Structures are given as C-alpha cells and as structure tokens.
Amino acid sequence: MTDKKSGDKLLYCSFCGKSQHEVR
C-alpha cells in the first residue's frame, strides 16, 4: 500500500484480493 507509483495497482489488488506485490 506504500507504493505510490503502484497506485493504479493498489485498487486492482483491492478487488483481486491479493497484495499489490503479488499482482505485480
């Protein structure tokens, strides 16, 4: 969640149910 550059991915993992690190 501390990834500012991955802000777009943040909401992605939100509904995906996975951490932004995993989605990446």
- The residues near 9 (Cβ < 8 Å, ≥ 6 apart) are 3, 20, 23, 24
Distances (CA, A) of 11 to 2, 3, 15, 21, 24: 13, 12, 7, 12, 13
User: What pLDDT, on a 0 to 100 scale, did the predictor assign at position 14?
Assistant: 60
Contact 9, 23 (CB under 8 A): yes
Two tokens, residue 18: 């996975």
Residues in the chain: 24
User: What pLDDT, on a 0 to 100 scale, did the predictor assign at position 20?
Assistant: 54
pTM of the model as a whole = 0.13
Over residues 1-24, the pLDDT tens digits come to 555 555 565 555 566 665 555 555
